[in-house]
Structure 1
Amino acid sequence: MKSYPLKFQPEFKERVWGGRALEQFGFELPPGRPIGEGWMIGDHPNGTTKVVNGELAGLGLDEVRERHGKAFFGAKGYSEKTGRFPLLLKLLDCQDDLSVQVHPNDLYDRLPEGELGKTEMWYILDAKPGAKIIYGLRPDITRETLAEAIQNNRIMDCMQEVPVAAGDSFYIPAGTVHALCSGVLVAEIQQNSDTTYRLYDYDRPGLDGKPRDLHIEDSLNVIAYEGSGATRMTTELERSNEWLQLAASPYFIVEKGRLETEWSLAANSESFTLLVVCDGTGTLHWGEHKLALRTGDCFLLPAGSSEYRLSGEATLLRSYIP
């Protein structure tokens, strides 16, 4: 069959730190529950999204992968380790602070079977006044000083806090200690992994009323004490219809663009493209077909698709495999 842009039904995840802010995008959330994560495009044992448009409607991303393989996703569109779709795209609603955490890389010998490491990036969609995140350790912190601080309940003395505003971008390689804090709405692009090691969780109970597990030894093992290559930037765009690179890793490239006039683009021949509408409205055109764009929408554009066009006024993120 001929490929076409795919839109998916998100999978919503209840989190102790979540809320209801994703409803502003028109999503129907499970009633009465704090929803922290919308898995927008995913192919993971803990969440696989289903296509909602066109001939493939009703199929999971895993089924599309199995049926259409490289014809849809390109030669680079697979994890060499797991055979699955290599990325996971989320929207996060942080009404409370997330745990202080760190992710392993692909080489960590205690990774759960079938899992990847987790390098990710955040784009801040919205932030309340005074919002902040935890982004890395203080420069003088070693494994020994961090372990001692944990033992003496002084772990927060080791953290770097960074104020955030809408439009800020953060690249978070595996090994970077980090935490989103309350009052931010975030688009997250990451390796297709659900492995998180918690260092600290504010001594609060989980959704079941019991303390959430910490993973101190694994965390101390995987932290990049000499620096992970994390970078951040304020993403002001000088011109419309041009892409600004926000993050570059071996796993993904993420770029930001501002749509103000009709914009003709070509799909990558070796990789799918993920498209996120950060704000605004518009239309995605390909051939004689079209799809409406609105804030919060996420699309998968298959590799090697014919030229497509965007029209309207919107801020967009796109991601692909380098």
Structure 2
Amino acid sequence: MLDQPLHFTPYLKTVIWGGERIAPFKGITTDKTGIGESWEISAVPGHVSVVDRGPYKGRTLTELIEEFGPELLGEENFRRHGTSFPLLIKLIDARDDLSVQVHPDDRLAQQRHNCPGKTEMWHIIDTIPGAKIYAGLKEKITPEEYEKRVADNTIMEVIASYDSAPGDTFFLPAGRIHAIGAGNLLAEIQQTSDITYRIYDYDRRDKDGNPRELHTFQARDAIDYTVHSDYRSHPEGSLLAGCRYFDVRRLDIDSDSAATPIEHPRDSFTIIMCLDGSADIAHGNGCVTTIHCGDTLLYPATLRELTASGTATLLSVQS
């Protein structure tokens, strides 16, 4: 029986644009440098998360889902996804600009790659002055103009940009062009998919001096060319982003308040990420677990009536 939350060993990914903030944010020591991503919870083949403490230490997330099924995922998730874990949870630290990208939707991803598409969201944790987020088209272009602008390096002229600040949220449905600008530390919640079409990379070179591969033609059919007036999210209340794939809520709790209930509206597991401070998370059987800044916990669907106390900023994620 799964009667306590699961904590996993993070996969720390070194990339050419990665920074040095993730390890201290998580309070861990590592010899790695240029860490751009920490995969907090993953079922992506080749990088499946492994429990690092408690009675299930050494077991993979996939093994636990195969053993416990709906007890871990929730009955509804189990009906929809079977033994596949539907979300990928990351921390991202951009020392330099990330490439401009787009992700295919479910239909196109299944057709081309036999996997789900990628809808995602970003919640900004910290920034440096001048940090920007790029999201969506700011003027109407055709697929033909898109290809021309990629070829002559003018694609950035038609992509909307925003000065980013801690607490900002950007929802990125599949098909929306986007990029994380230099100086952002953020949490990313996305569908379990590692399919990315790189549109533009500032003529950046890899460690061998070669231009990084672009996916101009694959991206052309994946892009949503609709223009919106504003691509920044403006949440009301605690719900930062809600869609068919996930709900993400923010809780700001302080030590002077009574225990704060963590909403559990879906028949789902609950992921708690601590972005600042620390909190005691209690659930219905009386067990209490302390979560610290940089930690991520997975609460099986059977663990309900979650409450948080302490002084912390938390994200609560359900599928």
* Same fold flag (TM > 0.5): yes
**In 2: Cα distance, 1:307 partner to 1:58 partner:** 28
Q: Residues 67-146 of structure 1: matches in 2 within 5 Å?
A: 67-78=67-78, 80=80, 83-108=83-108, 113-146=113-146
Cα 1:23–1:219 shift into 2, 3 Å = same
Match for residue 318 of structure 1?
A: 316
The answer to whether 1:248 aligns with 2:233 is no
What secondary structure, in the 3-state scheme, does the structure 1 residue paired with 2:98 have? coil
Q: 1:285 aligns with which of 279, 282, 286?
A: 282
Q: Which structure shows the bigger proportion of residues in strand conformation?
A: 1
**In 1: Cα distance, 2:229 partner to 2:248 partner:** 16
Are the equivalent residues in 1 in contact too, given 2:120–2:172 (CA < 8 A)?
A: yes
Q: 1:275 aligns with which of 272, 276, 297?
A: 272
**In 2: Cα distance, 1:230 partner to 1:118 partner:** 21
**In 2: Cα distance, 1:157 partner to 1:69 partner:** 47
Q: 1:309 aligns with which of 307, 310, 317?
A: 307
**In 2: Cα distance, 1:6 partner to 1:304 partner:** 13
What RMSD in Å do the two structures reach over aligned CA positions? 2.3
Match for residue 33 of structure 2?
A: 33
What secondary structure, in the 3-state scheme, does the structure 2 residue paired with 1:33 have? coil
Moved more, 84-93 or 221-230: 221-230
Amino acid at match of 1:156: M
Cα 1:120–1:130 shift into 2, 3 Å = same
Gaps of 5+ in 1: 238-242
Count, aligned residues: 315
Deviation at 1:289, TM superposition (A): 2.7
Deviation at 1:28, TM superposition (A): 3.8
**In 1: Cα distance, 2:143 partner to 2:293 partner:** 42
What secondary structure, in the 3-state scheme, does the structure 2 residue paired with 1:76 have? helix
Deviation at 1:89, TM superposition (A): 0.3
**In 1: Cα distance, 2:13 partner to 2:112 partner:** 21
Match for residue 263 of structure 1?
A: 260
**In 1: Cα distance, 2:266 partner to 2:200 partner:** 43
Match for residue 240 of structure 1?
A: none
Cα 1:80–1:230 shift into 2, 3 Å = farther
Gaps of 5+ in 2: none
Deviation at 1:267, TM superposition (A): 4.6
What secondary structure, in the 3-state scheme, does the structure 2 residue paired with 1:17 have? strand
Q: TM-score if structure 2 supplies the norm length?
A: 0.91
Are the equivalent residues in 2 in contact too, given 1:265–1:308 (CA < 8 A)?
A: yes
Deviation at 1:121, TM superposition (A): 0.2
Deviation at 1:210, TM superposition (A): 2.8
Deviation at 1:110, TM superposition (A): 6.8
Match for residue 56 of structure 2?
A: 56
**In 2: Cα distance, 1:6 partner to 1:110 partner:** 30
Amino acid at match of 2:241: A
Cα 1:80–1:207 shift into 2, 3 Å = farther
**In 1: Cα distance, 2:160 partner to 2:266 partner:** 40
Amino acid at match of 1:129: P
Match for residue 5 of structure 2?
A: 5
What secondary structure, in the 3-state scheme, does the structure 1 residue paired with 2:238 have? strand
Are the equivalent residues in 2 in contact too, given 1:79–1:86 (CA < 8 A)?
A: no
**In 2: Cα distance, 1:299 partner to 1:32 partner:** 23
Deviation at 1:79, TM superposition (A): 8.4
Q: TM-score if structure 1 supplies the norm length?
A: 0.90
**In 1: Cα distance, 2:224 partner to 2:82 partner:** 24
Cα 1:136–1:264 shift into 2, 3 Å = closer
Are the equivalent residues in 2 in contact too, given 1:8–1:40 (CA < 8 A)?
A: yes
Moved more, 26-35 or 125-134: 26-35
Deviation at 1:212, TM superposition (A): 1.5
Cα 1:3–1:61 shift into 2, 3 Å = same
What secondary structure, in the 3-state scheme, does the structure 2 residue paired with 1:153 have? coil
Residue deviations 1:152-198 (CA, integer Å, cap 9, x gap) = 22222221111110000000000000000100101000000001000
